[in-house]
Structure 1
Amino acid sequence: MCGIAGILTAPGKHAPQGALEAITDRIRHRGPDSSGLYRDQDATLEFGHTRLAIVDLSPGGAQPMVSASGRFVIVMNGEIYNYPDLRRRLDETVSPAWRGTSDTEVLLVACEAWGIEAALKQAEGMFALALWDRKEHALTLARDRFGEKPLYVGETDEGIVFASQLGAILAYPGFVGREDEQAIEMFLALSYIPEPLTPYRNVWKLPPGTTVRLLPGQQRAEPVAYWTAAQAIAESRLRVQSDQLGTEDVVQQIEQRLHTAVGNQMVADVPLGAFLSGGIDSSLVVALMQAQSARPVKTFTIGFKDEAYNEAHHARAIARHLGTDHTEVMLDWADALSLVEKLPEIYDEPFADSSQLPTRLVSAVARRSVTVCLSGDGGDEVFAGYNRHRLAMRYTKIRSMIPASLRGPAAGVLTFAAQPRMAGAINVARRMVGSGQTRLASEKLNKISSALRAESDLDLYLGLVRRDEGLVTSDALRNLLIHEYRDVSASANSLSETMMLLDTLTYLPGDILAKVDRAAMSVALETRVPYLDHHLFGLAWALPMTEKIKGNSTKAVLRRMLSRYVPTELFERPKAGFGVPIESWLRGQLRDWAEVGLARFRQANPKYNDIVARARDEFYAGKGHLHHFLWNVLMLQAWQEKYRGASAAGPDPR
């Protein structure tokens, strides 16, 4: 794992003195082991790299790396898990003179031998890379299929600057970001800025599964997809049909592939461990790791001193049963407050998924013992793990049971019952919504209310994923989801599958993967995600939804697999998620801090003054579930205080 950065200037222009050093130094936390710089002789192209050595710790794995012919130069952040297989194939065809044993060198040789698109299609892994063709004076940027590794591109007076994190672009001398109000609106609604947007109109993210080719003087070009979820789904379903595979055959292949993916991702020349929440996804990953390890796997979990949110005892029981070397750390409001001031620099852009706090803390604890951690992220998106996927299967039935004229009033009743001040009524409703905790039952009732009001499938999805209770009006967000909806509708056989694909294309890269990457890399910890193996993804989509959601159980196929390693009583319980007691903190210990932040935000952002004032008043009156929105506002306020000096208003060139 590393940090990459670079500058491509227009003909006749040059980057400011020290620019490459400045942007590279800003991402040194991603690769503290060593760093390297490369400048083309004509100064059109410059590369910077900071290294976290994982595979081939010798100088043979150092970057930037020049091909043996001298034509290509590469910087890469990530890991290619099947690099030994690719290396054997290259030995059989082109017989290269290897200088080391790193996966970066294997991919560089593959790009030169087969072409970059063919090489990427055959690579299994997570990566963001830049490849400079010295012969054609062309820069190709590429990103892995699901967006595990980030890649930002900024437009400058001299050309472009790219990097693993937005902060490196802001460190480019003289760079001024033009704030994107539409992106900020989306953030306030979602808690993250969806790709390819950033808080600035002159910075964009390369979409997952694509490449873009830029010549000196070009600031943008249309990304080209080398992999799409829709194509992968179609190919997998066609293969299953042509091979006449039954459901049990596919389930067996899924288990075999997950076992292989976990094994491949355990390869490292440094200490390795895993995050363990006690949920289905991480527990199965750890079980498969332990089955392939000769020694106890190091596992790490986070707990909360607020028992309503504490799931640490579940992880502890799983760890004890599997025999792992387990570490547990507790988080309270004081820890959260001490981390808040660091979050803008960790994430570089507005980000407000409150589980960023325990993710950062558990990453720091893990880094004391290991350099690589596997995680259970992606399991929900690939195997239907969110409550909205289950609700979607019942959506038609729910609506058919309630006449159209009564849906509005029924939704109003549920909204009232779901208010935090109605805890007594919520306790009565817990069984109805399948939740073991009052706070979760309350939020689920609120989501059902939103579903009853939805006038279309897209409205339903938008209502379920928004975290602002509909307070922020954003046509841009609706238009973005309409575009994504059109792309996935042909691949989805049901509303549940539509939601799963929308999650994979938006929520997964924009929230889940960004959260883990920035938190872990801020302490130089590499994270790996076995559930996002693209072969596993295809196999999972060859299964019917009835094998993923059975009755009241999500991720049925994973539960079945986990039961072979862990007694069901240790993991069969209502889904809790990686919840953080933000609501109780904002009402209690963090209230003074929150009041100051909200007041400052309203003063600096008069456009949102009335909305924020209303949300604040209703929240403290016990109405609605507005703590998520207020946390969004507070995180945006923290980000603006740090970075607004690097921004400037200006006409939108789009």
Structure 2
Amino acid sequence: MCGIGGKLSFTSRPDPDLGDAMTACMDHRGPDAEGVYATGPALLAHTRLSILDLSAAGRQPMANADDSVHIVFNGEIYNYRELRDRVDHYPFRSETDTEVLLHLYEEYGTDCLQYLRGMFAFAIWDEREERLFLARDRLGQKPLFFRNTDGAFWFGSTIKTLLADPAVPAEPDLSAIREYLTYQYTPHPKTGFEGIAQLAPAEYAIVDEDGMDREQYWSLSFADQFDAGPYALAARLREELREATRLRMRSDVPVGVFLSGGVDSSIVTALMSDLADEPVNTYSIGFDRAAYDELEFAREVASEYETNHTEYTVQPDAMEVFPELIEQYEMPFGDPSALPTYYVSEMASQDTTVALGGDAGDETFAGYDRYTREWVVSQLARLPRPLRESGAGTLRALPKPIRRQQLLHYARRALEIADEEPTQRYARFICHALGDQVDEVWDGPTPDNELRNLREAFERADGPTRMDEITHVDIMTYLPDDLLVKVDRASMAHSLEVRSPFLDPRFMEFAARVPAEYKWRRGNKKWLLKRAFEDLLPDRVLTREKQGFGVPIDEWFRGDLRDFGREKLDRLGSRDPFDGPGIDTVYDEHLDGRADHGYRIWDLVMLEGWYERFIDD
């Protein structure tokens, strides 16, 4: 895993010193080596985290035999050994996947992307064609930011790489910030910075003297469903995931696994333990609040497979890393589970360089509670409106102690929103705040299409059922913009590479063809996945409800973080276009116990931290 950056300018040659400034911004992503290439209109910068072929032959920028093509590459091509056979007539000087990719480009041009099975972001400067070729992996595991103005183009693994050039300003994009307040993350292609964008997952770009052209080279399809029975599919599933795990264990450095105690990471631990020649290193995070702690389940799996197990318990004083979270995430990012992810990455990095995880298991096999809620609401939507309104009215009339019970509260909300347009309705299950809730703290313009990225994703979703559609939308939105951002930034802050077998593109294509009735079956989430591995998992892990990587921030902001939260929100409330009194009301309601706004407060605190670091500075 590495950091890449560069600049292309046909009007004024890039200053080679900019390459050194860029590498200085990415040393955490690649602490083992750095390099700069600057010739003509192109400048390429690279920092290296050595995973494959630790020798100097693997350093970048890397050139082809006649020095006419240069590459900077971030990521891993897991099937590089198999792909090497396609280009074995080229003279190889290393054992790296980077050199395989370089020669694949020489052989196939942009079509080389069709052969890659991995996570990556790269840039190739083709001196003969005088063009820059950039690409990002299919699911968006590796970041690639860019700025394109008349006559100049910048790119990098981090936004600070672009900001290393004094010609690139750091200005807030208010439309992106408004979306952040809705989703808790910044939806691509926006970044929160005016004029700086992201290349989308499964997208490549060609930049030359005529400008920039972007193309999507892959899309996931749910249209062609398997007609095989569940037990045949379970056997195939197990085989596919085992192979994806085997490929991700390829490394010339130690490999461990993030073990949460949930189904997905436990499956990966079981598969790794079977494939490895010696005990696997497992790493788990817990909290001192039982409702958020999963350590007992992680311990059970670690004991079952006799792993080398390490644990860490997160306390409120862990917020001492708040400035570092802001520094690493760069974009407005409000998922509180970034905090434990940061700590588990720090812990794993002490004795390993690569860790496997279970990311994408929930999106791929319908593992979230919101899938069940959406199914219930879609069924209620079939009832006549008078019957729904009568039921909601009856539940509202119940005494408050009864009405507050979780099931009754959920039933009332389900009846009330059953009439809403499907995208808006689903957004209530996945968005942190919507409509008037955001307007309580925001005095700026409200977008005409607040749910733009969700609506566009639903338009592209091609599955035959509503369950297929919503899992597909999560894979196109929530997965790359929240979960994969969280893991990439937290792990790379500690020079740790994280790989997930569930994100293997071939496995994703297989899972997309599994009928929804085998993923969510009579209220049982991830039904087929559990059937495929039920002989490998402890019963308590297999049958437990999903807990999620939650953080007790409701309690923290009423206790240890009370003054910290007030200070940050007071500063944010003084900024344009935020509503200071509205922000005060949110915090006061939370402190008084009239509402639980912990997650909203976290979002606002993180946003203020972003302003202080990137805009004020």
> TM exceeds 0.5?
yes
Output the CA distance in 1 between the equivalents of 2:579 and 2:507: 44
Aligned positions of 1:354-433 closer than 5 A: 354-400=336-382, 403-404=385-386, 406-407=388-389, 410=392, 428-429=405-406, 432=407
Alignment partner of 1:132 out of 125, 129, 137: 125
Aligned positions of 1:15-414 closer than 5 A: 15-16=14-15, 18-40=17-39, 42=40, 44-91=41-88, 95-117=89-111, 119-155=112-148, 159-216=152-209, 218=211, 221-230=212-221, 233-234=222-223, 237=225, 240=226, 245-335=228-318, 337-400=319-382, 403-404=385-386, 406-407=388-389, 410=392
2:611 counterpart residue number: 640
Alignment partner of 1:486 out of 450, 456, 459: 459
8 Å CA contact 1:451, 1:463 repeated in 2? no
Query: Cα distance 1:5–1:524, how it changes in 2: closer, same or farther (>3 A)?
Result: same
Output the CA distance in 1 between the equivalents of 2:334 and 2:367: 22
Which SS does the other structure have where 1:274 is aligned? strand
Query: Cα distance 1:601–1:127, how it changes in 2: closer, same or farther (>3 A)?
Result: same
Query: Cα distance 1:396–1:596, how it changes in 2: closer, same or farther (>3 A)?
Result: same
Which SS does the other structure have where 1:182 is aligned? helix
CA displacement at 1:394 relative to structure 2: 2.4
String of CA shifts for 1:79-129, please: whole Å, max 9, x gaps. Answer: 0000010012322xxx11110110010111111112222x11111000000
CA displacement at 1:318 relative to structure 2: 1.1
Output the CA distance in 1 between the equivalents of 2:485 and 2:141: 7
Output the CA distance in 1 between the equivalents of 2:324 and 2:540: 39
Aligned positions of 1:430-445 closer than 5 A: 432=407, 445=410
1:572 counterpart residue number: 543
Instruction: Name which of structure 1's ranges 608-617 and 101-110 shifts more when overlaid on structure 2.
Output: 608-617
8 Å CA contact 1:450, 1:464 repeated in 2? no
CA displacement at 1:71 relative to structure 2: 2.4
Read off the aligned partner of 2:453 and give its amino acid letter: L
String of CA shifts for 1:272-300, please: whole Å, max 9, x gaps. Answer: 10000000110101111001111110000
8 Å CA contact 1:381, 1:504 repeated in 2? yes
2:443 counterpart residue number: none
| % identity of equivalent residues | 34
Which SS does the other structure have where 1:214 is aligned? strand
2:432 counterpart residue number: 467
8 Å CA contact 2:395, 2:403 repeated in 1? no
8 Å CA contact 1:296, 1:323 repeated in 2? yes
Output the CA distance in 2 between the equivalents of 1:317 and 1:16: 56
Which SS does the other structure have where 2:578 is aligned? helix
Output the CA distance in 1 between the equivalents of 2:545 and 2:353: 32
CA displacement at 1:173 relative to structure 2: 2.1
Read off the aligned partner of 1:320 and give its amino acid letter: S
Q: Where does the alignment leave 5 or more consecutive residues of structure 2 unmatched?
A: 439-445
Which SS does the other structure have where 2:457 is aligned? helix
8 Å CA contact 1:278, 1:571 repeated in 2? no
Which SS does the other structure have where 2:543 is aligned? coil
Output the CA distance in 2 between the equivalents of 1:550 and 1:106: 43
CA displacement at 1:204 relative to structure 2: 0.6
Output the CA distance in 1 between the equivalents of 2:120 and 2:302: 30
Output the CA distance in 1 between the equivalents of 2:394 and 2:610: 36
Which SS does the other structure have where 2:190 is aligned? coil
Output the CA distance in 1 between the equivalents of 2:215 and 2:491: 29
1:518 counterpart residue number: 489
1:438 counterpart residue number: none
8 Å CA contact 1:276, 1:300 repeated in 2? yes
Alignment TM-score, normalising by the size of structure 1: 0.89
Instruction: Name which of structure 1's ranges 511-520 and 149-158 shifts more when overlaid on structure 2.
Output: 149-158
2:508 counterpart residue number: 537
Alignment partner of 2:565 out of 576, 594, 605: 594
Which SS does the other structure have where 1:178 is aligned? coil
Matched positions, count = 609
Alignment TM-score, normalising by the size of structure 2: 0.94
Query: Cα distance 1:396–1:294, how it changes in 2: closer, same or farther (>3 A)?
Result: same
Which SS does the other structure have where 1:604 is aligned? coil
Query: Cα distance 1:558–1:15, how it changes in 2: closer, same or farther (>3 A)?
Result: same
8 Å CA contact 1:193, 1:199 repeated in 2? yes
String of CA shifts for 1:411-434, please: whole Å, max 9, x gaps. Answer: 8957999xxxx78865x54xx48x
Instruction: Name which of structure 1's ranges 520-529 and 624-633 shifts more when overlaid on structure 2.
Output: 624-633
